[in-house]
Amino acid sequence: MLAQLAIRDVVLIEALELDFAAGLDALTGETGAGKSILLDSLGLALGARADSGLVRSGAAQAVVTATFELSADHPAHAVLAENGLEAEPGEPLIVRRIVKADGGSRAFVNDQPAGVALLRELGAGLVEIHGQHDDRGLVNARGHRALLDAFGRLDVAAVGAAYRRWAAAEGALAQAREELDAANRDREWLDHAVAELTKLAPEPGEEAALAEERAGMQRGARLAEDIAAVEAEFAGTDGAVAALRKAGRRLERVADDHPRLADALAALDRAIVEAEDAESALADGAQALRFDPERLDEIETRLFELRGIARKHRVQPDDLAGLAADLAARRDRIEAGEGALAGLTAEAKAARTAYEAAAAGLSDGRREAAARLDAAVAAELAPLKLDAARFRTVVEPLDERQWGAHGRDRVEFEIATNPGAPFAPLAKIASGGELSRFILALKVALAEAGGAGTMIFDEIDRGVGGAVASAIGERLARLAERSQLLVVTHSPQVAARARRHWLIAKAHDGLVTRTSVHALDSTARREEIARMLSGAEVTAEARAQAARLLEVA
């Protein structure tokens, strides 16, 4: 709900601060007094295009501040949260627009800099402005489906959930098909690669072990002659070890004759032990380095195969075993994927069937709600001097490519203003006055469907009077029981229905022309309604008639 509107230096308005409340407010005044300036100012705060011509002559800038009181569940909270501007619970929402004389503008939300696009997004949920040339709100067919759904209290959320499940199932199926198609393109290569690697049977670390064994055999080939010569020095009765043993036996017979001989014998014993160890180590080394031409050829062949296939697959030889497992698993997934694809296809089909059933139920509900809405609007047309007009709600199926979370229907409000005339969209067939009254009739019929917390009707009663004006006033008052309404009017019947009455006046002091807005008390209000009834000269009869209008209201 709009709680306050502060305007400074906008065209003829020097400074205004207006406090509003729930219910119906009427704004009246002489033609040219500045009623449109008031609405232009509010529109500026709600993101309308900035124009330096709005800045009062001689002023550096124009400033408009609108303060709104929001319910805890108002959609504006979500918009603020998305933009990192959450309002404290119970705190008002304050939007401010500054337009400089040089054409620049700035916008603020709760005293934080914001983009004009954010003001427009917030404004769409805060205020509905219905004028004779308005192309938004009810005139815009894009919002008709949501209005009909709200009027019929239809469960669109269930259809949206079914659509998202169907979309997710179709997405999973498409991805699985894409993966399977890509895998099938490689199927022949996979079969060959897996067979080749299975036959080779590579093992982790095999290449390094074979290379080490081959290097040892190659070293053994180079050292074979030297090793044989050393073995000859050790072996036989004339070898080094045998000579040491023979010397030890002789020395053992005389070692007791002198301490140094005993020392010599001990050293000789140690030498024999070391020589025996050396002979054993030499034998082991000779065996390890023994050159086997056949084994070397096997090793060379195996290494060639391992390294060749590793180069082919652009991996290290040690990674071949893992590659073989990966390729085999990939081939298995292809085979499993064909079975899984059938399951995903069935899931997508079931999800589509569920969506179609939910959407069909929604379509039925929309057609039933459309019939009730048409009847409700028809009941409002005759009192508004639109008895020759016809209204209908068109519910048509959409092309499958346009199906979505909203269902499968296109919804649009159409009218025919004269008997026998074809139906057409609201904006294309209704004149300014007719359009405003059609909007009012729709608003009354859709009252329980909700809408913005504040609605503004700009001269909805233009060109009508008497009983029609009274009917307009009665319907506006009825709407105001659910929403805050501001009505710019020239009709005394409408003004009399308001809970509060504001007078917009223009004054000239010889130098400067200013527009002012004043809340009228009961006496001043009767006088203003009498002026609206009689014109320039307010008569006693006009005052009496004004009093009667106020009593009836």
At 333-375, the pLDDT tens digits run 776 667 778 889 999 999 999 999 999 999 999 999 999 999 9
Question: What is the CB-side half-sphere exposure of residue 216 using CA atoms within 13 A?
Answer: 15
The rounded distance, in Å, linking the Cα atoms of 404 and 398 is: 10
In three-state secondary structure terms, 54 is: helix
pLDDT tens digits, residue range 330-341? 777 776 667 778
Task: Give the mean model confidence (pLDDT) for residues 428-445.
Answer: 75
Q: Is residue 303 part of a domain?
A: yes
pLDDT tens, residue by residue, 208-260: 888 888 887 777 666 666 676 676 667 766 777 777 777 778 887 877 778 88
**Closest to 95 in 3D by CA, of 219, 2, 32:** 2
Decide if 192 is inside a domain: yes
In a domain, 334, yes or no: yes
Beta bridge partners of 24: 485
**Model confidence at 134: pLDDT above 60:** no
pLDDT number for residue 369: 95
Distance (Å, rounded) from C-alpha 27 to C-alpha 504?
Answer: 7
* Full domain range(s) for residue 258: 166-339
Average confidence (pLDDT) over 147-176 = 92
Residue 123 lies in a domain: no
For residue 88, being part of any structural domain is answered with no
Asked if residue 327 is part of any domain, the answer here is yes
The residue-averaged pLDDT of 160-171 equals 95
Domain total in the chain: 1
Residue 187 located in a structural domain = yes
Residue 501: which pLDDT band, with cuts at 50, 70 and 90?
very high
Domain assignment of residue 289, yes or no? yes
Contact 393, 370 (CB under 8 A): yes
- pLDDT at position 225 is 63
User: Which of 236-245, 260-269, 296-305 is least confident?
Assistant: 236-245
The Cα 23–Cα 485 span in angstroms is 6
Q: Which one is predicted more confidently, 543 or 229?
A: 543
Question: 112-126, 134-148, 186-200: which has the minimum mean pLDDT?
Answer: 134-148
* pLDDT for position 553: 65
